[in-house]
C-alpha cells in the first residue's frame, strides 16, 4: 500500500483497493439455504468494511481511494482492472524445491496482466510508519523489444523522483575470467547503454553471469529502491516459459529485496 501511495502521489493518480474472494459453497437444501445466503452476505459485508478501513490509513490522506470487491479469482479481478495504469501486489516470497516463488495470487497477476505490475515482497525495505522512497532505480535490459518497452517507465520514475538511474546489461557468460577481457567485452554494450538516455544521473554497468543473479546482486550492492525490467509473453505460455528454464523477470520479482516494476511484452 505504501508503494502504491508513492506512485499515486507522484503521478496524481487515485488508488483502487481491489480484492477477489471465493464464497463458501451454497449447495444447501431448504431451510439451510437461507442460512448460507446470510453467511455469504455477512462475509461480503466484512470484506467491504475491511477494504474501507484500509483507505483510512494516514499515508493515504491526500489520495482519492475507492474499493472493488469481486466474487471470483485473480483473473476475474484483472478483467475489472483493465483500465488501470499499474497493478501493485504484495508477494509471499515463498521458497520451495530450491526455487523462489511469488505466491499463487501474485503469480497469476504477474503472468496474466498486460498492465505493468509492481510486485512488493516481504523483504522490501519499507517498514514502520516511514514513507516509501525511491532514490535509486535499476533498469535491466538485454536490448530486446521486451526490455525496450520498460525503458520509458524507468526514465519517467527516475525523473519524477530525482533518483539515480542505473542501466544494467548482463552478458550470460562466465567464461570471461580476466578483467582485461571483460573490459573489452563490455565496450559495445556500454556504448549501447549510454545511447539509451542523456540523463546526467545515469550509471551504466555491464555484468557477467546468470542474468537474475547479477541483477539481484547489483540491486543490493547499489542500494536500489526499485528494479524495472521487461518480460516476455502473457498468460499460459509465459507461465510455461518461466517454470521450465526461462523467466528472468519472474526470478528477480520472486527474490528481490526491493519492489520490481515489470512491463510485459504482449
Exposure on the CB side of residue 188, measured as CA atoms within 13 A? 5
* Region 107-131 average pLDDT: 81
pLDDT for position 197: 80
Which of 40-44, 85-89, 96-100, 209-213 has the weakest average pLDDT? 96-100
Q: Supply the DSSP symbol for 125.
A: S
Beta bridge partners of 140: 168, 229
pLDDT for position 180: 53
Nearest to 263 by CA among 161, 134, 113, 127: 113
List pLDDT tens digits, range 159-182: 999 999 999 999 876 655 556 566
pLDDT for position 98: 45
Cβ(137)–Cβ(174) under 8 Å?
Answer: no
Report cis status (omega within 30 of 0) of the bond before 185. no
**What pairing do the DSSP bridges indicate for beta strands 136-141 and 226-232?**
parallel
**Alpha-carbon distance values, 155 to 218, 228, 260 (Å):** 18, 10, 15
List pLDDT tens digits, range 182-192: 666 678 888 88
Among 31-35, 123-127, 207-211, the range of highest mean pLDDT: 207-211
Confidence label for 16 from pLDDT (cuts 50, 70 and 90): very high
Confidence label for 43 from pLDDT (cuts 50, 70 and 90): confident
Domains contained in the chain, CATH given: 2-85 (no CATH), 120-265 (3.40.50.620)
Q: What is the DSSP string of 17-40?
A: EEEEE-PPP----TTHHHHHHHHH
Residue with the bigger pLDDT between 69 and 245: it is 69
* Region 197-201 average pLDDT: 69
Residue with the bigger pLDDT between 236 and 109: it is 109
* Region 21-36 average pLDDT: 61
Q: Structure pTM?
A: 0.84
Q: Which residue has the cell 547479477?
A: 214
pLDDT for position 103: 74
* Region 198-216 average pLDDT: 86
Confidence label for 252 from pLDDT (cuts 50, 70 and 90): very high
pLDDT for position 33: 57
Confidence label for 102 from pLDDT (cuts 50, 70 and 90): confident
214 membership: H or E segment, kind and range: helix 211-221
| Alpha-carbon torsion, ordered 153, 154, 155, 160, to 10 deg | 80
> In what side-by-side order are the strands of the sheet with 117-120?
87-90, 117-120, 260-265, 226-232, 136-141, 164-171, 202-208
Sort residue 144 into left (φ over 0), alpha (ψ -120 to 50) or beta: beta
* Region 247-251 average pLDDT: 88
Q: Would you give the end-to-end CA distance of the chain in angstroms?
A: 27
Percent of the chain with pLDDT strictly greater than 70: 77
**Alpha-carbon distance values, 11 to 2, 85, 107, 239, 265 (Å):** 15, 11, 26, 31, 23
Cβ(256)–Cβ(172) under 8 Å?
Answer: no
Amino acid at each position: 500500500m505504501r508503494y502504491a501511495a508513492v506512485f499515486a502521489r507522484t503521478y496524481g493518480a487515485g488508488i483502487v483497493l481491489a480484492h477477489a474472494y471465493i464464497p463458501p459453497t451454497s449447495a444447501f437444501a431448504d431451510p439451510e439455504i437461507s442460512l448460507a445466503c446470510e453467511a455469504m452476505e455477512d462475509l461480503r459485508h466484512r470484506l467491504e468494511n475491511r477494504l474501507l478501513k484500509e483507505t483510512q490509513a494516514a499515508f493515504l490522506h491526500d489520495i482519492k481511494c475507492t474499493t472493488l470487491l469481486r466474487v471470483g479469482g485473480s483473473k476475474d479481478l484483472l478483467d475489472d482492472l483493465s483500465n488501470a495504469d499499474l497493478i501493485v501486489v504484495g508477494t509471499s516470497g515463498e521458497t520451495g524445491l530450491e526455487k523462489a516463488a511469488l505466491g499463487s495470487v501474485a503469480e497469476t497477476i504477474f503472468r496474466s496482466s498486460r498492465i505493468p505490475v509492481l510486485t512488493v515482497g516481504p523483504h522490501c525495505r519499507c517498514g514502520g510508519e516511514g514513507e516509501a522512497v525511491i532514490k535509486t532505480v535499476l533498469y535491466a535490459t538485454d536490448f530486446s523489444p521486451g526490455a525496450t518497452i520498460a525503458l520509458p517507465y524507468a526514465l519517467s520514475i527516475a525523473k519524477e523522483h530525482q533518483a539515480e538511474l542505473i542501466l544494467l546489461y548482463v552478458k550470460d557468460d562466465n567464461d570471461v575470467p580476466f578483467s582485461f577481457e571483460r573490459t573489452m567485452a563490455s565496450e559495445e554494450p556500454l556504448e549501447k547503454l549510454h545511447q539509451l538516455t542523456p540523463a546526467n544521473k545515469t550509471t551504466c554497468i555491464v555484468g557477467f553471469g546468470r542474468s537474475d543473479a547479477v541483477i539481484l546482486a547489483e540491486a543490493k550492492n547499489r542500494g536500489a529502491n526499485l528494479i524495472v525490467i521487461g518480460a516476455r509473453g502473457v498468460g499460459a505460455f509465459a507461465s510455461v516459459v518461466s517454470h521450465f528454464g526461462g523467466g528472468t523477470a519472474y526470478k528477480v520479482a520472486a527474490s528481490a529485496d526491493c519492489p520490481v516494476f515489470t512491463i510485459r511484452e504482449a
